[in-house]
């Protein structure tokens, strides 16, 4: 295999002319300083190993602060899952029931003919939806991503119509719980 390397002509570069004046230096003016500054002595805060430190514990009050959860907890990591109306059992059974009920609700409410009406090509299509079950048990903050904006709006509408639930709890306190579902459907 041959490579062609372009021929480059070397040009002679002339150095700059010596007539340029050197840069000017600013004149520094020395000013007398008549201001008197009072210096403070900083004492060392280090203690010697031989010195004993006495702490009066009678003045100390213990105050228990309530933990505040600002961020939503993912559905997988939540201690007590949100309870969909009609679900019963232990935490594992409640998680399975929750997922089953949400997908069942979606299957009943989602308009599958919408994809063919939009003129999407036949084949499998994927939608992703993420939503939060708030501290009060309402579905909020529905975000979706899919092959068409109209489908994204339809998904958000269907998920937004989920019934009110019993909120999830972390350490006994109601918290927001984020949940995500990938949805696959076939366009014919």
Average pLDDT over every residue of 101-129:
82
Query: What's the CA gap between 153 and 183, in Å, rounded?
Result: 14
Burial 10-32 (b: 16+ CB within 10 A, else e): eeeeeeeeeeeeeeeeeeeeeee
Residue 179 confidence (pLDDT):
85
Q: Residue 12 pLDDT more than 70?
A: yes
CATH of range 73-187; options 3.30.1150, 1.20.1740, 1.20.120, 3.40.50: 3.30.1150
Residue 31 confidence (pLDDT):
67
Residue whose token pair is 């295999």 = 1
18: left (phi over 0), alpha (psi -120 to 50) or beta: alpha
Average pLDDT over every residue of 170-186:
85
């Amino acid at each position: 295999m041959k490579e062609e390397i372009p021929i480059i002509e070397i040009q002679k570069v002339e150095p700059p002319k010596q007539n340029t004046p050197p840069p000017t230096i600013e004149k520094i003016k020395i000013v007398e300083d008549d201001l008197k500054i009072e210096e403070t002595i900083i004492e060392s805060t280090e203690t010697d190993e031989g010195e004993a430190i006495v702490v009066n514990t009678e003045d100390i009050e213990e105050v228990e602060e309530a933990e505040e959860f600002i961020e939503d907890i993912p559905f997988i990591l939540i201690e007590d899952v949100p309870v969909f109306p009609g679900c019963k059992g232990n935490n594992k059974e409640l998680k399975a029931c929750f997922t089953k009920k949400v997908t069942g609700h979606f299957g009943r409410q989602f308009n599958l003919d919408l994809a063919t009406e939009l003129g999407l090509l036949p084949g499998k299509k994927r939608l992703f939806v993420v939503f939060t079950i708030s501290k009060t048990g309402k579905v909020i903050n529905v975000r979706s991503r899919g092959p068409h904006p109209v489908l994204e709006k339809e998904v958000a509408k269907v998920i937004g119509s989920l019934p009110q639930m019993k909120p999830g709890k972390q350490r006994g306190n109601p918290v927001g719980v984020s949940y995500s579902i990938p949805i696959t459907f076939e366009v014919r």
